[in-house]
Chain A
C-alpha cells in the first residue's frame, strides 16, 4: 500500500508554455501533499505544502504565481508551471501524508521537466 503516482513521468515543452503535473495517492487519502524540486546533483528542495481544499503554503523564494498548486481532492494535487523557462527544467517530486498520527511521507516517482 501507500502508493503515490505522478503524471507525466517526463515532459518536454517550449519556453513560455505551461505544464501541469499530477500527483495522486492511489490507495490512501492524503490530507497533505508536498511538492519538491531537485536540480541535477542536488538534494530535494521543498517548494510548497498543500492541504486539501485550502491554499498552498509556499516556501520562501518560490513564486506562487509561477508554480500554481491545486489540491482539489484527498487523492489529487496538481502543480502547474506557468510560462516555463529553461531554468525551470528540473525533477519535480510530490509526496503525501495521511495525516493520521505520526506517519512517514510517501513519495511519487518524480516528473522530469525539460524546457527548451
Chain B
C-alpha cells in the first residue's frame, strides 16, 4: 500500500528551479515527510525532512501544504549532478523503517 504518490519522471533545465511534487493524502499526525535521492549506482542520500512547517537546508527546500496531504521538494538551482531518482517517504517519528516507492526520476538537462 503506497503511502506516497510521485510522478514517474520529470525533466528540468540546468540552472532553473526543480519542483518535485509528492502526494501523501493519508498521512497521519505523527508522520514526517522525508526526501532522499539516489544517484545511479550509489546509495540513497538524505535531503530533507519536515513535519508541518516548511524547511530549508543547503540542498533544498521542503514546502508542506497546510493540510499536510502533499508536499513539494524544491531544488533551487538544478545542476547536472542533481540528476537522480528522488524518493518522497512518510515515516512515523519512532519507526526507523523507510519504505521506498518508485520515486521520481529527475533528469537535469544542459
A residues lining the B interface (CB < 8 Å): 4, 6, 32, 34, 36, 43-46, 49, 91, 93-95, 97, 102, 104-110, 112
Taking the closest CB of chain A, its distance from the CB of B25, in whole angstroms, is: 20
Binds A, one of B11-19, B70-78, B94-102: B94-102
Q: Which 5 A-B pairs have the closest CB atoms?
A: A107-B43, A104-B46, A44-B100, A43-B100, A107-B44
Q: A46-B97, A91-B41, A110-B43 are in contact. List 4 more A-B contacts (CB 8 A).
A: A34-B96, A97-B96, A106-B46, A107-B44
**Interface set, chain B 35-58, CB cutoff 8 A to A:** 36, 38, 41-46, 49
Closest to B45 in A: A107
B96 and A46 within 8 A (CB): no
Q: Which B residues are CB-close (under 8 A) to A95?
A: 43-44, 98
Number of interface residues of B (CB under 8 A): 22
A102 and B31 CA atoms in complex are apart in Å by: 12
Contact A44 B44 (CB under 8 A): yes
Q: Kindly provide the distance from the CB of A77 to the nearest chain B CB, expressed in whole angstroms.
A: 14
- Which residues of B from 55 to 105 have beta carbons under 8 Å from A? 87, 93-94, 96-103
Name the B residues within 8 Å of A93 (CB-CB).
43-44
Which residues of B are found within 8 Å of A109, using beta-carbon distances?
Answer: 42-43
B101 to A43, Cβ gap below 8 A? yes
CB distance from A34 to the nearest CB of B (A): 7
Q: Give CA–CA (A105, B42) in the complex, Å.
A: 15
**Counting chain B CB atoms within 10 Å of each CB, which of A34, A49, A91, A104 scores highest?**
A104
Closest-CB distance, A80 to chain B (whole angstroms): 19
Are A104 and B34 interface neighbours, CB within 8 A?
A: yes
> How many angstroms between the C-alpha atoms of A6 and B42 in the bound complex?
11
**Residues of chain A lying within 8 A (CB to CB) of residue B100:** 36, 43-45
Question: Is A43's CB under 8 angstroms from B97's CB?
Answer: no
Q: How far is the CA of A42 from the CA of B94 in the complex (A)?
A: 27
A6–B93 CA distance with the chains assembled, in angstroms: 27
Q: Is the CB of A43 within 8 A of B98?
A: no
Q: How far is the CA of A43 from the CA of B93 in the complex (A)?
A: 22
